[in-house]
């Protein structure tokens, strides 16, 4: 939207009406609706006069919230609407807005809605010391104060560390005023631009190219409570299959079949844990979806079956572009059905991607999503376990903006519109079709879907990775704040390409990256071969497997993955917590310690769940580092040394050590190292108990079959371990919930 002087504000309110459902304010320029959804959640929706804007959302789902009691006061030239936790003041004289929390914190002060042409924006003032997090997939610092950001899903291979925007658009912010938190979501699928002035200044601005200003404000007090509201509003991820938490190995591309088999054999012969092998785009026949290359992969069922016998799941890639080729059944049925993205003149849009000229399914059409989902039957019947939807920004080669034309036409599930409106939700609707199709085909099975492009709420359908990053130290460093903000935005099952996608990782870089990557929520190595590096032989380029750098590095890399598999019972328990609370797996320190101001901008450390703190090495040639331990007692995970928190310490970190700390008072469920998750069934759970100063500790373990939806019918086991007594006479108790049998359990007091 142009500068403020070229905009038209909402302006003086000429009329307002208040019903049980909402309060409506009308000016000469437009209409503003205010609706309290809960006592700490309010929605403000402004539409320009004469604009026919459908009131619907791709992100927000029914919450089941009870409508709160709302008090309405007319005071002077203002109308005040308030619940017990939130108030909205509308100036009848100016149309400006003030939103306050129960403790009188200004969430939005002097906020002005304004239009410029079709564009809409909001300008407001915020406290000088407010911190801003979330905002989806972002490079740069953890705290987004002082940054400009765009929301427009963009394919950017080998992106630099300052790249903006990237592949995913989640226009949600988590804001901290000291220990108090609130959040806001600008639900508008057109391109958005946000700008927050630096610390010490007060201006904030966000605009959208078209559509309504649809703003949800959450004022729940603690950051964890805000995330609970946010993920109730947009949905939470389902519990993934256990194997999806294992290590995953990928290359662009492993082929032919003999290479895939060799990779699998190498993992098992070298005793390096791994659960998943990916087949990138080259497994297809001429890059055509739902096909197999007849020479590279002559017998897919046997290959997938043999890999499964070795403990590997197979995940395959699928892109949205459907090759224009007479006789190709996917193309023929799509063309006949007609649910394709169209040019402004109504003809089908055809654009080049990997297969050449392609049609693009219109995933904003429910019939198209159903058609797409049914095609997965053949792959499921072959035994393929997971699906990777790529290029779904959507990317188009040799096209303006590297995507579909802005005037391309979509059905919009009954509300037709152009690509400007639907660009940012194209990838989301693609994985929606994928996941809904898988659920229809295998209704009692959990499914794993991975996406590159997304909008708010995509966590309901897919995990996400951060796209085509680089094999360099800056890309390793930015992965931490990227994933932390991703998790704060609702997309908790996330990770980057370990080792980097574009370029070649050095042995040291790969080892350090795998150390921290073993604790990412989504743990996958992925790298580019010939198509990017220019080598004529795709199998002659430098490799990026854990054994690629020689025996010494292989030993270090094996130990990193063994740590992940040892901690899988704890990781799985934290993943189950997401499905109930929305709290991410990978957490910034301030999320767990909002009362400690020193945690506000720490972006090179993180928590896994509430009980493990990781402070990785992120620079070449470093063998120690300074880090901050939050208040309380902490144990060095490796030595057992007890350390006082609330201060900085220096940790030794030789090349084979990841600085890792356990919170005193925690009990962490672990297991013996296995080569894949299928081997863990009969292994005992080993509780690592880390007592606090009063020799007390508590921890939780969640178990189920790891594969089906039986847990939703009560077939799970939640165990709570409690430690008391003294070091000389420890007392432990185990309390169980649920009907699942579970594994035998052992208790080890680690310190």
Other C-beta atoms lying within 10 Å of the C-beta of residue 54: 12
| Catalytic choice (275, 390, 472, 605) | 390
pLDDT for 539 equals 55
| Catalytic choice (39, 275, 319, 468) | 468
Residue ranges covered by each domain of the chain: 4-234, 586-660, 666-749
| Catalytic choice (40, 143, 289, 393) | 393
Q: In the predicted model, is pLDDT for residue 1 greater than 70?
A: no
Q: Which residues contact 651 (CB under 8 A, 6 or more apart)?
A: 615, 624, 625, 626, 627, 636, 659
Q: How confident is the model at residue 536 (pLDDT cuts 50, 70, 90)?
A: very low
Decide whether 4-234 matches 586-660 in CATH topology: yes
* pTM for this predicted structure: 0.97
Q: If you average pLDDT over residues 279-295, what whole number do you get?
A: 98
Q: In the predicted model, is pLDDT for residue 538 greater than 70?
A: no
List the CATH code of the domain at 586-660.
2.60.40.1180
Name the token pair of 55. 């009131």
Q: Which residues contact 83 (CB under 8 A, 6 or more apart)?
A: 36, 38, 39, 40, 68, 69, 70, 71
Contact by Cβ (8 Å): 674, 563:
no
Name the token pair of 1. 């939207």
Would you call 232 a catalytic residue per the annotation? no
Contact by Cβ (8 Å): 206, 462:
no
E strands within 289-412?
313-318, 322-323, 350-353, 356-359, 386-389, 409-410
The 3-state DSSP composition of the chain as helix, strand, coil percent (nearest 5) reads 25, 30, 45
% of the chain residues with pLDDT over 70: 98
What tens digit of pLDDT does each residue of 44-80 get? 999 999 999 999 999 999 999 999 999 999 999 999 9
What tens digit of pLDDT does each residue of 599-618 get? 999 999 999 999 999 999 99
- Gyration radius of the chain's alpha carbons: 26
Q: In the predicted model, is pLDDT for residue 4 greater than 70?
A: no
Q: If you average pLDDT over residues 543-548, what whole number do you get?
A: 96
Which of the four CATH numbers 1.10.579.10, 2.60.40.1180, 3.40.50.150, 3.40.50.300 does domain 666-749 have?
2.60.40.1180
Domain 4-234 falls under CATH 1.10.240.10: no
In angstroms, rounded to a whole number, what is the distance separating the alpha carbons of residues 171 and 339? 29
In angstroms, rounded to a whole number, what is the distance separating the alpha carbons of residues 177 and 132? 9
Q: If you average pLDDT over residues 164-184, what whole number do you get?
A: 97
Helical H segments across 286-425, by residue range: 300-309, 329-337, 366-374, 376-382, 419-422
pLDDT for 20 equals 87
Q: If you average pLDDT over residues 114-124, what whole number do you get?
A: 97
Q: In the predicted model, is pLDDT for residue 133 greater than 80?
A: yes
Would you call 393 a catalytic residue per the annotation? yes
pLDDT for 328 equals 98
In angstroms, rounded to a whole number, what is the distance separating the alpha carbons of residues 311 and 675? 8
What tens digit of pLDDT does each residue of 664-694 get? 999 999 999 999 999 998 899 999 999 999 9
Q: In the predicted model, is pLDDT for residue 31 greater than 80?
A: yes
Contact by Cβ (8 Å): 682, 741:
no
pLDDT for 93 equals 97
Q: Give the HSE-up count for residue 495: Cα atoms under 13 Å, Cβ half-sphere.
A: 25
Q: How confident is the model at residue 533 (pLDDT cuts 50, 70, 90)?
A: very low
Name the token pair of 164. 């903006």
Contact by Cβ (8 Å): 560, 460:
no
Name the token pair of 268. 């098992």
What tens digit of pLDDT does each residue of 448-494 get? 999 999 999 999 999 999 999 999 999 999 999 999 999 999 999 99
pLDDT for 532 equals 44
Would you call 620 a catalytic residue per the annotation? no
What tens digit of pLDDT does each residue of 368-393 get? 999 999 999 999 999 999 999 999 99
């Amino acid at each position: 939207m142009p500068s403020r002087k070229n905009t038209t504000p909402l302006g003086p309110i000429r009329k307002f009406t208040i019903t049980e459902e909402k309060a409506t304010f009308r000016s000469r320029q437009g209409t503003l609706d205010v609706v309290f959804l809960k006592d700490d959640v309010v929605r403000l929706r402004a539409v320009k006069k004469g604009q026919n804007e459908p009131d619907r959302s791709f992100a927000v789902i029914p919450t089941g919230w009870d409508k709160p009691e709302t008090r309405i006061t007319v005071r002077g030239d203002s109308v005040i609407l308030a619940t017990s936790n939130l108030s909205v003041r509308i100036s009848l004289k100016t149309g400006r807005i003030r939103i306050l929390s129960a403790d009188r914190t200004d969430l939005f002060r002097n906020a002005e809605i304004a239009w410029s042409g079709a564009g809409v924006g909001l300008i407001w003032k915020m406290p000088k010391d407010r911190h801003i997090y979330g905002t989806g997939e972002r490079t740069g610092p953890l705290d987004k104060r002082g940054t400009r950001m765009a929301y427009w899903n963009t394919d950017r291979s080998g992106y630099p560390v300052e790249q903006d925007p990237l592949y995913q658009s989640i226009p949600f912010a988590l804001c901290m005023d000291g220990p108090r938190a609130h959040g806001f979501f600008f639900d508008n699928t057109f391109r958005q631009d946000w700008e927050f002035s630096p610390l010490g200044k007060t201006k904030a601005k966000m605009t959208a190219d078209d559509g309504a200003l649809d703003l949800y404000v959450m004022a729940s007090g603690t950051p964890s409570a805000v995330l609970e509201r946010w993920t109730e509003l947009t949905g939470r991820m389902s519990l993934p299959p256990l194997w999806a938490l294992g290590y995953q190995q990928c290359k662009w591309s492993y082929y032919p079949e003999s290479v895939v088999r060799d990779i699998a054999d190498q993992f098992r012969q070298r005793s390096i844990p791994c659960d998943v092998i990916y087949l990138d785009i080259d497994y297809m026949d001429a890059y055509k979806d739902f096909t197999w290359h007849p020479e590279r992969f002559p017998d897919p069922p046997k290959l997938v079956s043999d890999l499964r016998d070795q403990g590997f799941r197979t995940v395959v890639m699928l892109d949205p572009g459907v090759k224009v080729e007479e006789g190709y059944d996917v193309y023929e049925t799509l063309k006949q059905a007609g649910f394709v993205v169209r040019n402004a003149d109504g003809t089908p849009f055809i654009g080049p991607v990997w297969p050449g000229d392609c049609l693009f399914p219109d995933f904003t059409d429910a019939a198209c999503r159903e058609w797409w989902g049914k095609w997965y039957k053949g792959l499921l019947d072959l035994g393929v376990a997971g699906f990777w939807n790529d290029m779904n920004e959507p990317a188009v080669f040799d096209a303006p903006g590297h995507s579909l034309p802005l005037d391309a036409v979509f059905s919009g599930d009954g509300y037709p519109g152009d690509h400007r409106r639907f660009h940012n939700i194209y990838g989301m609707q693609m994985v929606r079709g994928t996941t809904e199709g898988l659920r229809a085909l295998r209704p009692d099975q959990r499914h794993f879907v991975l996406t590159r492009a997304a909008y708010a709420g995509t966590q309901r359908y897919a995990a996400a990775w951060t796209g085509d990053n680089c094999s360099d130290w800056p890309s390793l460093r930015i992965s931490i704040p990227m994933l932390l903000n991703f998790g704060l935005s609702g997309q908790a099952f996330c990770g980057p390409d370990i080792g980097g996608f574009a370029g070649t990782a050095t042995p040291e870089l790969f080892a350090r990256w795998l150390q921290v990557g073993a604790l990412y929520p989504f743990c996958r190595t992925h790298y580019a071969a010939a198509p990017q590096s220019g080598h004529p032989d795709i199998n002659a380029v430098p490799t990026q497997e854990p054994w690629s750098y020689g025996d010494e590095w292989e030993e270090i890399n094996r130990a990193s993955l063994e740590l992940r598999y040892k901690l899988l019972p704890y990781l799985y328990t934290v993943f189950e917590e997401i499905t109930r609370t929305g709290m991410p797996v990978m957490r910034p320190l301030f999320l767990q310690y909002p009362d400690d101001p020193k945690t506000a901008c720490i972006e090179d450390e993180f928590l896994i769940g509430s009980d493990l703190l990781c402070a990785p090495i992120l620079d070449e040639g470093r063998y120690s580092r300074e880090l901050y331990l939050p208040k309380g007692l902490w144990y060095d995970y490796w030595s057992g040394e007890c350390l006082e928190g609330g201060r900085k310490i220096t940790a030794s970190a030789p090349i084979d050590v990841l600085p890792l700390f356990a919170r005193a008072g925690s009990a962490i469920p672990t297991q013996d190292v296995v080569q894949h998750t299928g081997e863990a069934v009969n292994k005992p759970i080993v509780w690592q108990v880390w007592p606090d100063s009063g020799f007390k500790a508590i921890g939780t373990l969640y178990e189920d079959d790891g594969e089906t939806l039986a847990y939703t019918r009560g077939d799970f086991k939640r165990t709570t371990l409690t430690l008391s007594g003294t070091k000389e006479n420890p007392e432990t108790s185990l309390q169980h919930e649920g009907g699942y049998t579970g594994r035998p359990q052992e208790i080890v007091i680690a310190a």
